[in-house]
Structure 1
Amino acid sequence: MSHKKHVCETRVRVRYAETDQMGVVYHANYLVWFEVGRVEFIRQLGLDYKSMEQDDGCGIAVVQVEARYRAPARYDDELVIETRLVAARGPVVRFGYRILRAKDGALLCEGESGHVVVGKDMKRAKLPQRYAERFAECLI
């Protein structure tokens, strides 16, 4: 697989509870889907958040999120979450996202999230070596 172009695709279906009075997806749900994509991206690399937290004693805290809404998603739409690694330097990691409607490929939302690796004390920590190595491969 070409790591530079590595994009994880995850599919979700819009639930009724995720829509607002206007029948469109409430904007904050896109941030939840960013997280779904991020977790699956890491899983596709053979890694996972759970072991990072339990075995390595650290996590990746969200410190910044940006989202640009292009078109509405509606109840029962199948969505494709495209996730890619944008940067990984020291304790700082950035992911990029695109959310598309599966049936027509329409771009609904795109954005990025910035993270800092932290220990259980919530202070900056070093990214565990195996994560640093796998992330570096995605950026080559």
Structure 2
Amino acid sequence: MSEVETKPVVSESRVRVRYAETDQMGVVYHANYLVWFEIGRVDFIRGLGMDYRSMEREDGLGIAVVDVSARYKAPARYDDELRIETRLVAARGAVIKFGYKVMRNSDDVVLCEGETVHVVVDREMKKRSLPEKYASRFAAVLI
């Protein structure tokens, strides 16, 4: 457990805006932020020493998105390098909540802030509590 306690509470991921992610106005299409939230979430879980693929294949569980919110503050444009900060907001029973901040790396301007709420499900998409081996790691970064 001591290894988990030394991990940062906020993980950081980087992406570069591809041309295909922009709209006719030359700014990032809003739905791409949800993809970047996922990148941050997967990196956060990996940073805790867990692997989402193993959670699915070995433990037969998924983390289904049930709610998303995003507040857009400034536009991102083609070739901007972005930094995604991800943190765990809550983890209790079957519910997990992550928070995100997407910033342009060159000037640290906050472009978008958001949250996702997830429910832990089994292979049949039935709600179940997060197994202790994952719950304890999440609890360690909520303290």
TM range (shorter): over 0.9
1:73 equivalent in alignment to 2:76:
yes
Query: 1:48-102: CA deviations, max 9, x gaps?
Result: 1100000100010000000000000000000000000000000000000000000
List alignment gaps of at least 5 residues for structure 1: none
* C-alpha separation in 2, matches of 1:128 and 1:52: 10
State the shift of 1:107 in Å: 0.3
Q: Which residue does 1:10 correspond to in 2?
A: 13
1:129 equivalent in alignment to 2:132:
yes
Query: 1:20-60: CA deviations, max 9, x gaps?
Result: 00000000000000000000000000001100000100010
Q: Displaced runs of 4+ in structure 1, greater than 3 A?
A: none
Q: Which residue does 1:25 correspond to in 2?
A: 28
Aligned equivalent of 1:102, options 105, 114, 120: 105
Aligned equivalent of 2:88, options 81, 85, 89: 85
* C-alpha separation in 2, matches of 1:20 and 1:104: 22
1:56 equivalent in alignment to 2:83:
no
State the shift of 1:2 in Å: 6.0
Using the size of structure 2 for normalisation, the TM-score is 0.95
Amino acid at match of 1:38: R
How many residues align? The count is 139
Q: Which moved more, 1:120-129 or 1:95-104?
A: 120-129
State the shift of 1:130 in Å: 1.4
State the shift of 1:129 in Å: 1.6
List alignment gaps of at least 5 residues for structure 2: none
SS of match in other structure, 1:108: strand
State the shift of 1:122 in Å: 0.4
* C-alpha separation in 2, matches of 1:94 and 1:2: 21
* C-alpha separation in 2, matches of 1:125 and 1:100: 34
